[in-house]
Structure formats: C-alpha cells, structure tokens
Structure 1
Amino acid sequence: MRKLVLKMSMSLDGFVCGPDGEAEWMLRSRGEDSAAWLVENLQQAGVHVVGGRTYHAMARHWPTSPEPVAVPMNDIPKVVFTRQKPADADLSSYAESWASARFAHGDLADEIQRLKEQPGKDIFAHGGAGFARSLVRLGLVDEYRLVVHPVAIGAGKALFGDLPKPVNLDLVSTTAFAAGTMVQVYRPAAG
C-alpha cells in the first residue's frame, strides 16, 4: 500500500500561511540545495493531491515556471479535492497536465484510501491550509515533510490547528539548508 506524504512549508512559529493566505515570506529562504531536495522528493511521487484553491494557483504558475521543481510538478498526475464540480471550472487555459487532473468530490477519507490501495509511487499532498488540516484531522497522513522557514510571522493558519486530540509523531530525520530552512520528517507514532 502506498503512503500519503504531506509536504508543507511553515514558519518557525507554526503557521503555513498568514491570516489571509500570505506566503511570500517563504521565498526569502529558498536556495539551490532546498530546491534539489524538493525535486528529489517529488520524483518519489506517483500522484499529487491538492485542494481546489491550491490546484488553481499551481496550474497558473508551474507550466511556465523556469524552476527545476516545475518539471515534476507538471509531469506527475493530479487529483483535486474540491466541492466545485469540474464543469463549473474553466480549465481550458491550463496546460494539459493540469487540465487533465481528476476531480474528487467524495468523502475525503474514502477517496484517499482508494488512492492508497492503488499500485504505484507514494501520494504527495500539498496545501492549502484547509485541505492539509483536513488530512491531519482525519489521520490520513503517513509521513509529514515539514519545511520550516527561519521566519516568525506572528499570526496565520496553523497546520495543526483545531485537532480533536493530540497527534503524536516520531522524528525520522532532519535536513538543514544553507538559507536557514530545515526539513523535519515525521511519522505518526506507533500505538
């Protein structure tokens, strides 16, 4: 069974975006070494799962991006979790790899379970905050790859906000990058 890996960037004080979705603060601590790590990690993915808003933002950005990360972001199949029906969304301006995304409208836990049961490489989840929080709250994440940026933003949306109970995690690894960003990889604690 393949696993669901949640890759999220977050501030040092635990926010994945500002109160109104601001995320520019992440750009300051990008570097070649962290980009290489991300490309390497994305190559382990068999499918991207994203929320609707993140999908539309990525579909506008990645097809024309010169960044090395753009290749796996564009090439890997996508599943979009949204309440909006695909017929309601105008996808005609999107590159083929984004316009051909599958839209999932069913129960999130059931849909993720079906994806986990399919053969292939791991499932990589990307935010937004609401979608990622739903994955966490439902206990669907098999591995967290948290990219912690060296900035405190003071307020925003926390990945682990509004949990019904504590989520105990085991630290698997840490990787530090030259610009001060650190990746912390966690898995849910056994038992």
Structure 2
Amino acid sequence: MPRKLVLKMSVSLDGFVGRNDGDVEWIFPSIDEELQEWMVDMLGQAGAHVMGRVTYGDMAAHWPTSDEPYAAPMNDIPKVVFSRTMTEGSWPETTVVRGDLVTEVNRLKEEDGDELLAHGGAGFARALIQRGLVDEYRLVIHPVALGSGLPLFTSPTDLTLVSSEPFPGGAMAVTYAPAEKTAG
C-alpha cells in the first residue's frame, strides 16, 4: 500500500500560513503543553520529513543543536529536500531531490515506510496542493486572524473533515482529506 503524503501546517483563522513578510511569530502564543505533545507525537510518526529548500535551510540551522522536544523526531527521521540549486544537505539524514516534484513525490509514496510528512513554506505547500499530491492535511488553526498574508490555498479546494482536537491555548488541530480522495 502506498504511503501517504501529509501536509503539516500552522494556519491563522483566516487561512494564512504567514504574514506577507513570511513572519510566523503569531503561532507561538497559542502553543500550550498539550499541543506541543500532539505535535511531537505527529512528527515522530513520520517515515520522512519532506520540504523545500527554504524551509530546509531554516530547520537545518535550528534543529541539530536544539534541546526542544521537537528536536529528536526532526533530527532522527530522514529528511527529503526538494531543490533545483542544492546538491547536498548539511543536516544528517538528508537526501536532496532535484527531479520533477510529481514524479519524485510519487516515487517516495511507493517506497516502504511510514507516512511522508511535508513541512511548508507556503510556496512548497501550494506546489504540493496544486499538483494534487497531498493525501491528508494536518492543520493547527491558531486563534488569530492576520487579515492578509501568505495563503495556504489559492483556489477552491473541497476537503472532508477526518478529525479535530481543541487545545487549552485556543488552537485547534484539524485533519482533512481531499474530498475527491474520500468520495466513493
């Protein structure tokens, strides 16, 4: 059975994944202990972390020396970075993929292993969405409306709710599947 690609993103109530300048500091006030445990558990379920070059650069600069609870699953689980300019990664357990996004993601899905957990940037997330590669969305909706910013979706997208879980800090974790993948 092919493994699924899960897109993990934090979003504002009005659907943005970052401010216009890319700032994401607005997510941190609502991350409480229970949400942190949920996120660490989710990260640990991944067979591989999948991301673009920009997100990889940010994460590779932070996680290898971090003692935060998220560090172990980020450091110990293989990373796959999609880039047309990188040739190798500096973070252990990194594979750089330079081929066509659709071809390479579908190849990864056919490999044995646990789910592929995709980390945005907005651009990488939208590229996955626009090409129909996302099998499941795990979104943490934070209790803030940004008014403008970097949208997760740029065209109408029908989704089916799989689960939801509220957290004391006001955030809500929701899991959705693309409607066409649940119709039957």
TM-score range, shorter chain: over 0.9
Q: Name 2:38's counterpart in structure 1.
A: 37
CA distance in 2 between counterparts of 1:138 and 1:36 reads 31
Which digits, 9 at most, give the CA deviation of each residue in 1:77-127, with x for residues without a partner?
00101121326xxx5xx4xxx244111111101000000000000000000
Measured in 2, the distance between the counterparts of 1:150 and 1:79 equals 31
Shift of 1:68: 0.8
Question: What's the CA shift string for 1:35-90, capped at 9, x where partnerless?
Answer: 10011111210000001010010011112222111110111100101121326xxx
TM-score after normalising by structure 2? 0.94
Q: Which amino acid aligns with 2:149?
A: G
Deviation at 1:188, TM superposition (A): 1.2
**Cα pair distance change 1:100/1:72, threshold 3 Å:** closer
The amino acid across from 2:80 in the alignment is V
| Counterpart AA for 2:124 | F
Number of equivalenced pairs:
180
Give the root-mean-square deviation of aligned CA atoms: 1.2
How do residues 1-191 of structure 1 correspond to structure 2 at under 5 angstroms? 1-86=2-87, 94=90, 98-161=91-154, 163=155, 166-189=156-179, 190-191=182-183
How far apart in 1 are the matches of 2:86 and 2:47?
A: 24
In the aligned structure 1, how far is the partner of 2:97 from the partner of 2:149? 27
Q: Distance in 1 between matches of 2:161 and 2:110?
A: 26
Q: Secondary structure at the match of 1:115?
A: helix
Percent of pairs with identical residues? 56
TM-score (norm 1): 0.90
- CA distance in 1 between counterparts of 2:158 and 2:11 reads 18
Secondary structure of residue in 2 paired with 1:102: strand
Q: Tell me, in whole angstroms, the C-alpha distance in 2 between the residues paired with 1:83 and 1:27.
A: 31
Structure 1 outlier segments of 4+, above 4 Å = none
Code of the aligned partner of 1:155: S
Structure 1 gap ranges (5+): none
Q: For residues 68 and 15 of structure 2, what CA distance do their matches in structure 1 show?
A: 26
- SS of residue matched to 2:132: coil
Between the aligned partners of 2:103 and 2:115, the Cα distance in structure 1 is 17
